[in-house]
Structure 1
Amino acid sequence: MEGVRGLFPPRFQGDSRGRAFSLWGCQDAWGALDKVVREYERLVVFRLGRLVGARGPGLVILIPFLDHIVRVSLRVVTLDVPTQEVITRDNVTCSVNAVVYYRVIDPNNAIVNVENFREATAQLSQTTLRSVAGQAELDELLAERDKLNQQIQKILDEATDPWGIKVAAVEIKDVGIPEGLQRAISRQASAERERRAAIIQAEGEQQAAQKLADAASVLGTVPGGLFMRLLRSIPEIAAGQGNIIAFPLPMELRYLAEKLVLTRRPDDSPGSERQESPTDDNK
């Protein structure tokens, strides 16, 4: 007991304040011995400067004044890559930004192998985005983003593997191009749509002409087929706004009328002699 009293100044010995001070010091020292680590965290412990390893989750017991800890989160981090000005392979100036999703899978390497893994990952993401976008053409940036995303992700994942980081995904958010180039692309898209519409219309007319030719050949082989088709078109013609309707007579109807006229003229029947008119004698 005398040895314990010797740790405190004489003015605190035998005093209630001295006992309170000693209890407070013990509680503070004991509080430094334990740390609660959440499920998504790890504690990287250094003892006298030497790496002990990652601890957690749960309750972690530490040695006061000897252990130094660094808390590392294992959750996915969303890194917003600032807009980068790049020149594409076809010499077009544009701006590109992206977002990178990564997480720490090895806390020891994330603390020991790199000074600040967050800043290092951010800088590497910017340079990789500029490099990949500069090697691609503008059409690839606009239409093949998935391919470029996978390429950037692969490069970042391989580069950050020694740091204990896993790059989960990379997404190019926006590609900004000059206003004049936007108008040119719009005109090109409009011309492409008109070309496709003209091709579709020509193909439709070709198919319709082929169908009409097939129908005409079929109607030509059937007696009275064209006449029946003409009769079916009369209601359609009469439904128009015009007051005058020009109705062509088919050859079958003309032949039928001539036969009716011949049957009503007995003089023109076979075996009858044609009488000469007075005008013929005068000639």
Structure 2
Amino acid sequence: MLFKEDKNFGFQFPEPQYLGAKHTHLAWIKKFIPRNVTTALDAFSGSQSVAFLFKQMWFTTFSNDFLNFNNQIGLALIENKEVKLTKEDIKLLYQPAANKTDFELMENTFTNVFFEKKEAEFLDNFRANIPLLDNTFKQALAYTIINRSMTRKITMGHFGHTQALVYASDPERIKRNRSLIRPIKEIFEEILPKYNNAVFDNEKENRSFNKNILDLLPTIDNIDLAYFDPPYCDSHADYQGFYHLLETYTEYWKDKEFINGIKRYEP
């Protein structure tokens, strides 16, 4: 790149599969950002693609989302400056978990709902090992990439339906999307480099928050630009319903009731 202001655009945001994501509209959004901005807030970050744009533009970037699995993307790609997952980290994540009996939520709750038993067991074992990573940003990358791997495997990329295993046995659907029958581990290893390569330092102290925006706003100041893209009221885009599995996996709840056919957490 010839100019410093363009350097960060050499880093590519990993393509999301997220309802309402503005990934394909970033060039249009960028046209309306004033030139004198130095600090920006993405208040409802979701996939974090807009926050990533702010970071590319050298802004001190604050991202926020009520759902922790989205916050993990922010920690991994917005707040993180240089930490990546190494081969040694991957070996640790794959090793047999020492505390396996404490991590059986996916197997016990979601086997034959979204995944076959072998895949659910792999997810539990992987999740048990995430806390063993010695760095918050490594943990965030692990959450981010394994969560993205799950959405790649499920038809429509969300968990608001009960047809995952039905579609995975449909030859015509498999022709259109082979990820339906690929192991999650294989998908994880394929997309891992894309996330590692998206980590960069824009020389600012960026932050990712996991808060109700009404609680966060009184605690921050000196924001030049605030971007608000809240959930769409009265629409079908129920993010807690569609992405309940990713939030359950990240939080690894043991005190929730899992209801209806999709085993959504309640409350």
Question: TM-score, normalization: structure 2?
Answer: 0.20
Which structure dedicates a bigger proportion of its chain to strand?
Answer: 1
